Structure 1
């Protein structure tokens, strides 16, 4: 199992960051490798929101279904996959003042096949690197 929790400070109000990270339709703008993300319903997540994601990671294309299982409006939500990779996680936005916040991205992935399990250390490193880069892209998007 690969479990990561990465965070970063963003020089923007928490409400702005939440508006982006809680709207799955925005994911292709800041998550590299996400080719499409189709949430139903569109807009800010709510319990029961479903997603259809096509993403490219480590040279492979993944098609994942997901659902939002918990929401604390304006602050956090939790999700899990329903098809594709076996994963769960969450996103959290914490205000650090009027113009700053901390964004935390949490993910737990359980490789299913032996070949992926043997590559866990490399996949962990790649995923950590990717998430950190995504947080930097999010910070740039919010600032623009």
Structure 2
């Protein structure tokens, strides 16, 4: 299994961050490689909401079905895939003093077939992608907060 946890601090209120992080329709704005994300029903994440994601990673195209498992108190959600890549994870936004926020993304991927042999390399690539995703998310929020 590839287990990753990445976090960043954002100059912006948690509510503004959650508008992006808690709405799967907005994933293509900040997640590299995600070309389409279609949640059903549309709108903010809710338990039982499903997603249809099309993306590219490490030169390959993927189509993943997903499901929001829970949306917790505050601003946190957990998810799992239902088709495509075998994965689960969570997204959390925590309010910090001074109008700042901490964003944490956790992803667990269980490679199959030949990808098991490539897991160490895929883990490095996935970590790099998650760090870049949070950098893009931070820039989007900070631009909106400044504007």
TM-score bracket, normalised by the shorter chain, equals over 0.9
Offset at 1:112?
1.3
Show the counterpart of 2:125. Answer: 126
TM normalised by structure 2 equals 0.95
Contact 1:39 1:52 in 2 (8 A): yes
**Where has structure 1 moved over 3 Å in runs of 4 or more?**
none
Q: Give, in whole Å, the separation in 2 of the partners of 1:65 and 1:143.
A: 30
* Structure 1 residues not aligned, in runs of 5+: none
* Structure 2 residues not aligned, in runs of 5+: none
Q: Give, in whole Å, the separation in 2 of the partners of 1:73 and 1:141.
A: 24
Show the counterpart of 1:11. Answer: 11
Show the counterpart of 1:92. Answer: 92
SS, match of residue 138 in structure 2: helix
Offset at 1:106?
0.3
Show the counterpart of 2:134. Answer: 135
Show the counterpart of 1:111. Answer: 111
Offset at 1:73?
4.8
> Within 5 Å, which residues of 2 pair with 1:39-58?
39-58=39-58
Show the counterpart of 2:24. Answer: 24
Q: Give, in whole Å, the separation in 2 of the partners of 1:15 and 1:75.
A: 8
TM normalised by structure 1 equals 0.97
